[in-house]
Each structure stands twice: as C-alpha cells, then as structure tokens.
Structure 1
Amino acid sequence: MLSSDETYASLKGAWRLMLGKADGLRQLDLSADGFWNSFFAIVVAAPALIVGWVGLANEIGDPNAFAGRFSMLIRLATVDIGVWVLPLVGLALVAPRAGIGGRFVHYVVASNWASAIIAWLMLPAALIRLFLPSTNEFAVLASLLLFALSM
C-alpha cells in the first residue's frame, strides 16, 4: 500500500500531465515498483466507482430484489475493472512490436493515475444518478460536462 505522500505525488503528476504540463511525468514513479504501485489507483478510485455502480445497479436491476441489484453491481464492477486492466494487458503484448516498449511503463503509470482522477471527476454525476434518479437527463448532461472538463 502506498503512503499518502506517494499517492498525492502520483495524482498530482497525473493531473499535471492532464493539463499538458510535461513536468508531471517527473512526479510519477516510473520504476518497476512504481509500475505495480500505480494499480493502487484502482483502490483510490474505488469509492467513486462504487457510487456509480450502485446508481446503475439500482436503475437497471430489480429495485425490489436485493440479489438482482447485487448481481448487477458485481457485473458492473467486473466490467469496469476489466475495461481498466485488459487494454493495458493488450498493450503490453503489442508494445514491443509497435516500438513503444520503452514508454510502456510511462503510459501505464500515467493512465492508471489519470483514470483515478477521472473516476473522481465523474462522482457528482454518479451522485445525481444515485440520489435523484428521476433527473436522468441532468445526470447525463453533468457526465458529459465533467468528461469534457477532463479532456
């Protein structure tokens, strides 16, 4: 588990990169340990992701059946974690052949921490969907605005 200082430095570095500042890369740990530690970003993002999963599970699953909502929650979590990790596995397989093997670690570390930031940026829209399900259009608009902000 990373210390709060290391987590803060990684998030700050990813945020600087997202703002187009190249110095953000210097704040990321690009060592072998830093590569594996960057997957701690999933834990950092988990609370924000869980709010989104619960909101969607309530919306999609049977509201009267706990088992149906819980099953949907597990499926949503599996899909989100898969969408986070599987593209990185695919990139690991093609990176040496594509000539980007030397930058693979940089990409994974930066994208893991940036994904955690984006998960938290999307939290307001997830909270709207969770607590005000009848305002789905507003939640979609908030999601789009927050996504545009993250670009």
Structure 2
Amino acid sequence: MPRLEEVAHYIQGLWLILKGRPEGFGYLDFTERGFWRSWWSLVYVLPPTLLSYLALKTLVLSLHPNPAAVGIGFYFKLAAVDYGSTVITTITFLVVARFGGFGKFAAAIIIALNWLAVPLQWAFSLENLIQIYVPGSAVLTESAQFASLLLTAFLSYRIIDRIVGGSALVTATSLLTLYVVPQLSQYKIAQALALLPDL
C-alpha cells in the first residue's frame, strides 16, 4: 500500500499537470505496478465513502422512516453498487480505448483519475455533512452535488487532455465513457439489488 507521503507526491504531480507543467508526469507511477497500486486510492477514500453512505441513509429515512430498510445490508448493497460499477467502468473503458485506438493512454488515464479521486472525495465530504446535519438542506445539497460534478468533470477533462496530448476526440470519448458508464451500471446494479424502491 502506498504511504501517505507517496499519495501526497502523486497529488502534487496532478496539480502540476493541471497547471500545464509537464514535469508533473514524473511525479506519478505510470508503470504496470503503478496501475495496480493506484487502486489503493479506494482505501484512502474509504472514510468519505462511508460518510456518503451515512448521508444517503439520512435521505432514505427522511423519505421513508423505516429503520429496518437501512440496516447493515443497506451498506453492503451500496458498496456493491459502488465497487461493481467501478469494475464495469474500468473494463468498458479499457475495451473502448483499445478499439478506439488510444489504448496506450488508458492505463495512465486510470492511474491519474484514481489518485485525483482522493482529494476530491475528501473535499466533497462537505456536501454529505450538510445533508446529515442541516435539516431541510435538499436545495443546498443538490447545489453542492452539482458543483462537485462540474468540478470533477472539468479537472478530469484537463488531466485526460494533458495525457493524450490535446486530442479533443480522445478526451471527450474518455470522459463520456468514464461518466456515462458508471451512471448506467450503478442504476442497473441498484435495480438488481432492489435498492431503487428504497430510494
């Protein structure tokens, strides 16, 4: 597992890349080993992920005051939705990249976005705290979630664009795949696990 100092080093590299400084690429490990190690980012975002589950539990209870519907099984189902869609999205993206002719960039894109998720997920914990502790904050929470989505898409676009050398078509294809597939797969998995009736 990468040490916290290593993760901070990767994030610094991402910041340099976002600023258009090519030396930022040297901060990240784009090897095969680096690809597999980048999935440790899921461990580093575990606390904000669990916080988002608590926020969703609060939302469900506000809509349907039935504590039995949000027991321990509820959290396992949410985890299945999250991690199941991550696997599906990654495989889909690798296939799209290969047949789209930009397979050589696919691993680097995944590595960079995996580590980008760490600071973003921690920063977006604010919207979950608002949902949990501020009653009647639906409008505020939705506004924060929309802003988070826009920021994530913007930063992801910038990083992908730097990695692929400014190819707008490749960047757009990557971004669409990495944002549309998770939405569809999460919906399908949630539907299969009977989460949607609860939500």
TM above 0.5, yes or no, is yes
Shift, 1:115, TM fit = 2.0
SS at match of 1:134: coil
- Do residues 125 (structure 1) and 127 (structure 2) align? yes
Normalised to the residue count of structure 1, the TM-score between the two structures is 0.84
Shift, 1:93, TM fit = 2.4
C-alpha distance after superposition, 1:39-64 (max 9, x if no partner)? 01111111111101111023215655
Residue 111 of structure 1 is matched in structure 2 by 113
State the alpha-carbon separation in 1 of the partners of residues 65 and 75 from structure 2: 12
How many aligned residue pairs are there? 151
**Percent of aligned pairs with the same residue?**
25
Shift, 1:142, TM fit = 2.3
1:76 to 64, 73, 78: 78
Alignment of 1:31-110 (within 5 A): 31-61=31-61, 63-65=65-67, 68-110=70-112
C-alpha distance after superposition, 1:44-98 (max 9, x if no partner)? 1111111011110232156552562432222222222233332111122232222
1:134 to 126, 133, 136: 136
SS at match of 1:30: coil
Residue 25 of structure 1 is matched in structure 2 by 25
Structure 1: gaps (5+ residues)? none
Normalised to the residue count of structure 2, the TM-score between the two structures is 0.66
State the alpha-carbon separation in 1 of the partners of residues 19 and 56 from structure 2: 30
State the alpha-carbon separation in 2 of the partners of residues 82 and 101 from structure 1: 22
**CA RMSD, 1 decimal:** 2.2
